[in-house]
Amino acid sequence: MAELLKQLTETAGVSGDEGRVRKLITERISPLVDNVQTDRMGNLIAYKKGKKSDKKIMLCAHMDEIGLIVTGIQEEGMLKFKTIGGIDPRILVSKRVLVGEKGCPGVLGIKAIHLQEVEERQSAVKVKQMYIDIGAASREEAAQAVSLGDYAVFDSRYIEFGENKVKAKALDDRAGCAILVELMKQEYDYDIYACFSVQEEVGLRGAEVLGYGLNPDIAIVVEGTTCSDVPDVDQHQYTTEMGKGPAITIMDGSSYANKELVEMLVKTAYREGISFQFKKGTTGGNDAGRLHLAREGIKTATVSVPCRYIHSPASVMDLDDYSNTIRLLSCFLKGCEL
């Protein structure tokens, strides 16, 4: 399981540029399912025929990650950029990135502290103050390596450390993608559509197309979500806690989870002795925000893996939470009655 997770998190796939992630998933999931196709939006849909085949279940995880896009090349060879998805500018300074299809190495820089005015040192750095340094000495030299519109992704490796923890970029939501592939190794009564959506980080765009096109009986979104059990955060403000198992959503900023599905997930967890938690925060959203509104409405729920420091080059996840999410969803899919 960890090998696939490593491959997925180390693959570049900023929103709008998910092709390499899609190719990798296609290679891994094709032997496990009956059909694989890509829609016009770029979503990947893997179909596995069920034993009954009278109902269809959608599982959805998004392939894209947050990142940067090159918007200008300066005379000195530095690259100006905009962020794609929700990124805190404070995490960007001095981070390594890979730019464009060829992965041109670069570093995010700002004016040295020795040259900053007092007021500049006392305020958070803004994106417009930063640039990507790819080692070019001129606009012409930089233009030979990168182009306007090129995407930049964090240069970050998958590392296992501590007590069953992993560090990687893009655990939101390559963890979900890996879980869907693992789930397709088993057989189920109902038709399963394992869907890998595009452009979630910029407006849940792929999910809207998926929901309309497939119109499933139910949809389960599998996400990597915020884990806030860190210093200087009061316990009553914890969204999720690492090591406490998969998080089941009741509501968030984009949707209410279907109560019937939530009850079924909870009963499954208790029946199988699987640790779980409810996601306590209600801010943010995920693909469920579009899926539950598709056509006449789709019964939708979300199960998430808690991840510290999401939307950064170094997210952290507990492998037991990851494994228990697979267990919960597998048991749910085998035991649910639609």
Is the pLDDT assigned to residue 115 strictly greater than 60? no
Is the pLDDT assigned to residue 112 strictly greater than 60? no
pLDDT digits (tens, 9 = 90+) for 176-220: 999 999 999 999 999 999 999 999 999 999 999 999 999 999 999
Does the residue 188 lie in any domain? yes
Q: What is each CA distance from 315 to 11, 87, 96, 311, 331, in whole angstroms?
A: 15, 13, 15, 7, 27
Domain closes at, from 85, 119, 154:
154
Residue 1: pLDDT band with limits 50, 70, 90: low
Q: What is the per-residue pLDDT for 293?
A: 93
Q: How far apart are CA 218 and CA 221, in angstroms?
A: 10
pLDDT digits (tens, 9 = 90+) for 70-111: 999 999 999 999 999 999 988 898 999 999 999 999 999 876
Residue 281: pLDDT band with limits 50, 70, 90: confident
Q: What is the per-residue pLDDT for 121?
A: 62
Domain closes at, from 131, 154, 177:
154
Specify whether 13 is located in the same domain as 73: no
Is the pLDDT assigned to residue 284 strictly greater than 90? no
Specify whether 280 is located in the same domain as 320: yes
Q: What is the per-residue pLDDT for 325?
A: 97
Q: How far apart are CA 250 and CA 259, in angstroms?
A: 8
Does the residue 278 lie in any domain? yes
Sign of CA dihedral 105, 111, 114, 118: negative
Q: What angle do CA 260, 262, 267 make, to 5 degrees?
A: 95
Specify whether 179 is located in the same domain as 311: yes
Does the residue 163 lie in any domain? no
Rg, Å, the chain Cα set: 21
Does the residue 160 lie in any domain? no
Q: At what angle do helices 259-272 and 319-335 cross, to 10 degrees?
A: 110
Q: What is the per-residue pLDDT for 338?
A: 78
Specify whether 198 is located in the same domain as 86: no
User: Is 187:26 a contact under the CB 8 Å cutoff?
Assistant: no
Specify whether 280 is located in the same domain as 324: yes
Specify whether 48 is located in the same domain as 148: no
Specify whether 260 is located in the same domain as 133: no
For residue 55, the domain's CATH number is 3.40.630.10
pLDDT digits (tens, 9 = 90+) for 24-47: 999 999 999 999 999 999 999 999
Beta bridge partners of 72: 80
Kindly name the residue from 18, 65, 200, 223 that is annotated as catalytic: 200
Is the pLDDT assigned to residue 11 strictly greater than 90? yes
Q: What is the per-residue pLDDT for 52?
A: 85
Domain closes at, from 91, 123, 154:
154
Is the pLDDT assigned to residue 116 strictly greater than 60? no
Q: What is the per-residue pLDDT for 285?
A: 85
Residue range(s) defining the domain that contains residue 178: 2-65+169-335
DSSP assignments along 170-202, one per residue: -HHHHHHHHHHHHHTTS--SSEEEEEEES--TT
Cβ contacts of 259 within 8 Å, gap of 6 or more: none
pTM of the model: 0.94
Specify whether 121 is located in the same domain as 246: no
Does the residue 161 lie in any domain? no
Which DSSP letter does residue 264 get? H
Number of domains in the chain: 2
Section 118-147 average pLDDT = 86
Q: What is the per-residue pLDDT for 252?
A: 87
Q: What is the per-residue pLDDT for 113?
A: 59
Does the residue 159 lie in any domain? no
Mean pLDDT, the chain, as a whole number?
92
pLDDT digits (tens, 9 = 90+) for 265-280: 999 999 999 999 999 8
For residue 93, the domain's CATH number is 2.40.30.40
Q: Which has more pLDDT, 125 or 69?
A: 69
Does the residue 164 lie in any domain? no
Q: Is 160 a catalytic residue?
A: no
Specify whether 141 is located in the same domain as 187: no
Section 299-313 average pLDDT = 95
Residue 221: pLDDT band with limits 50, 70, 90: very high
Can you read off the two tokens belonging to residue 98?
């890979």
